[in-house]
Structure 1
Amino acid sequence: MAETKRQTVIGFIGTGVMGKSMAGNLLKAGYPLLVYNRTRAKAEELAKLGAVVKDTVGELAREADVVITMVGYPRDVEEVYFGAGGIFQHARPGTYLIDMTTSTPALAEKIYKEAQARQMFALDAPVSGGDIGAREARLTIMVGGDEEVFAHLRPILERMGTNIVLQGKAGAGQHTKMCNQIAIASNMMGVCEAIAYAKKAGLDPQNVLRSIEAGAAGSWSLSNLAPRMIRGDFAPGFYVKHFIKDMGIALEAAKEMGLDTPGLALAKRLYEQLAEAGEENSGTQALFKLYDR
């Protein structure tokens, strides 16, 4: 296994809040790592740990056996893969591609088909777990693509996450991530309202949390984000602006399938109100600010 790691060169594109930790865990596992980030300074910490920083996407793609992308928006994914100087223009036949950005199912399918045409292999593999899950290599990874490609890449995915499930064909990983975001959207409203209610009732919110998180109200957001709300810690584990993007993708996909999602629509409106108030670069737990005033 050690020999395989030495021979498998991984290229990681996008070293933001989550990408930096994910790439760092691959370094810790012994993989040779190439990194690229539009803001080079954000890759320097990984360089100090042994990663090689590349100046362009094309330079990275030419040298990597596996290319992982973790960028911001579907338009960024499109540019990184299909743009001039992008992955498809420079990667070798036989290269494995893993897009871990939360993007659209349609774009995941487009990448898969283009990879097939170029004798490459592609998975869509969005993640959940936030900055903590990324740092501790405990991400949930939702995968779409071919079973044999998934099996080949699973050892790499296991260095970044623990709950790793092949959901189906190309695009299935992105559809599953939409299910995840839909569930979180309404849950976040409930968590904020519960903590705001506790404060208005003159209770100790931390003490209330001790009671309700162990029962039927329990959720990841309640246990991990409510304490941040109570402390007034609104630093991003996951950006408000990216959550708005995700909810937009989910609403559009739901509309295409003829599904009404009123809870999701309300959550998106509230988060857009939050962003308009200057909180787009805060963590999603900043929704609490709309209630706590």
Structure 2
Amino acid sequence: MLSINAKIGFIGTGVMGKNMIANLQKAGYPISLYTRTKEKAQGLLDNGAIWKSSIAELAKSTDVIITMVGYPADVEEVYFGQNGILENAKAGSYVVDMTTSKPSLAIEIYKQALEKNIYSMDAPVSGGDVGAINGSLAIMAGGDQHTFDSVLPLFDIVGENIIRQGGAGAGQHTKLANQITIASNMIGVCEAIAYSKRSGLDPMRVLDSITTGAAGSFSLSKLAPRMLEGDNAPGFYVKHFIKDMTIALESAEEMGLSTPGLSLSLDLYKELAEKGENDSGTQALIKLFE
């Protein structure tokens, strides 16, 4: 188990990361930060976080390094190479990648970390900005049991539904299953709203009826109201959902699995991105149905 004095390093202060860091700060953990744009982390620094000027500097001075970056290429950049985490982290330290990334990449990080006596875990999350703010994220973990047990106190601060799914890469595979589920669900939510409007119903009143029944989901209860309000602020970016669905589709194809719902959703979101909505929230999909 980690003590409250364990030094936590965090790389990535986007929509999710900044709120996860804030919750760790509230719990009393000393936090060091590195991000490409220091200005984006200013609020956290004002609240007591310590700025590190490089990944290497952060890795050398912390006991646990958590990463929440954008794309697999970003994960590779921060973990590998002379200036990366694995070349600079202390033996006996922990590295936890909470980015949604490739299962194969999580396995490679695990293998290289093991060679350096560093404990590794992939632990992507679900729950969007709401879950990050409230500390109620679902955390899907992959890695050794003893590593999971050690970092669980940190997971308990940022999440609620926390499950170790298996060895290295299992967390990423679980998150991809999550994204596959959401992909088709988002189409259904948009179609339901469009149908409600076309049939002359009050769509918000319709939501009052269907969100608590068998159709209930996070997308329906949290994102559908945003759709109706025209609120496209990103709890989760369109561009990042496209990234996740692309990884999921590639992984499914490698296993010889057909995922037609996922393929359709990916095509629709790519169309949405081409219309200039890359940095909008995923609920902006409704624009294709209006």
Normalising by the smaller structure, the TM-score range is over 0.9
Secondary structure in structure 2 of the residue aligned to 1:158: helix
- Aligned residue number for residue 126 of structure 1: 124
Kindly provide the CA deviation profile for residues 157-213 of structure 1, in whole angstroms up to 9, marking residues without a partner as x: 111000000000000000000000000000000001101111122211110100111
In the TM superposition, residue 18 of structure 1 has moved relative to its aligned partner by 0.5
The question of 1:16 aligning with 2:35 is answered no
Q: Which region of structure 1 is more displaced relative to structure 2, 280-289 or 86-95?
A: 86-95
Secondary structure in structure 2 of the residue aligned to 1:35: strand
- Aligned residue number for residue 150 of structure 2: 152
Taking the aligned partners of 2:40 and 2:254, their CA distance within structure 1 comes to 37
Secondary structure in structure 2 of the residue aligned to 1:23: helix
Q: Which region of structure 1 is more displaced relative to structure 2, 237-246 or 83-92?
A: 83-92
Structure 1, unmatched stretches of 5+, are none
Taking the aligned partners of 2:144 and 2:289, their CA distance within structure 1 comes to 45
- Aligned residue number for residue 268 of structure 2: 270
Q: 1:179 aligns with which of 177, 180, 189?
A: 177
Amino acid corresponding to residue 222 of structure 1 in structure 2: L
Alignment length (residue pairs): 290
Kindly provide the CA deviation profile for residues 79-113 of structure 1, in whole angstroms up to 9, marking residues without a partner as x: 00003411012111111000000000000000000
Taking the aligned partners of 1:26 and 1:174, their CA distance within structure 2 comes to 23
Taking the aligned partners of 1:275 and 1:83, their CA distance within structure 2 comes to 32
CA RMSD, Structure 1 to Structure 2 (Å): 1.0
Secondary structure in structure 2 of the residue aligned to 1:123: strand
- Aligned residue number for residue 75 of structure 2: 77
- Aligned residue number for residue 224 of structure 1: 222
Taking the aligned partners of 1:194 and 1:34, their CA distance within structure 2 comes to 45
Secondary structure in structure 1 of the residue aligned to 2:236: coil
Secondary structure in structure 2 of the residue aligned to 1:165: strand
Kindly provide the CA deviation profile for residues 118-174 of structure 1, in whole angstroms up to 9, marking residues without a partner as x: 010000000000000000000000000000110011001111000000000000000
- Aligned residue number for residue 235 of structure 1: 233
- Aligned residue number for residue 29 of structure 2: 31
- Aligned residue number for residue 162 of structure 2: 164
The question of 1:138 aligning with 2:136 is answered yes
Identity %: 62
Secondary structure in structure 2 of the residue aligned to 1:5: coil
Amino acid corresponding to residue 204 of structure 1 in structure 2: D
Taking the aligned partners of 2:159 and 2:47, their CA distance within structure 1 comes to 20
Taking the aligned partners of 2:91 and 2:65, their CA distance within structure 1 comes to 12
Amino acid corresponding to residue 51 of structure 1 in structure 2: A
Q: 1:56 aligns with which of 45, 54, 57?
A: 54
TM-score w.r.t. length of structure 1: 0.98
- Aligned residue number for residue 104 of structure 1: 102
Taking the aligned partners of 1:286 and 1:4, their CA distance within structure 2 comes to 42
Taking the aligned partners of 1:184 and 1:84, their CA distance within structure 2 comes to 38
Taking the aligned partners of 1:85 and 1:233, their CA distance within structure 2 comes to 40
Taking the aligned partners of 1:126 and 1:204, their CA distance within structure 2 comes to 37
Taking the aligned partners of 1:89 and 1:4, their CA distance within structure 2 comes to 25
Secondary structure in structure 1 of the residue aligned to 2:179: helix
In the TM superposition, residue 4 of structure 1 has moved relative to its aligned partner by 2.1
Taking the aligned partners of 2:257 and 2:8, their CA distance within structure 1 comes to 39
Amino acid corresponding to residue 274 of structure 2 in structure 1: E
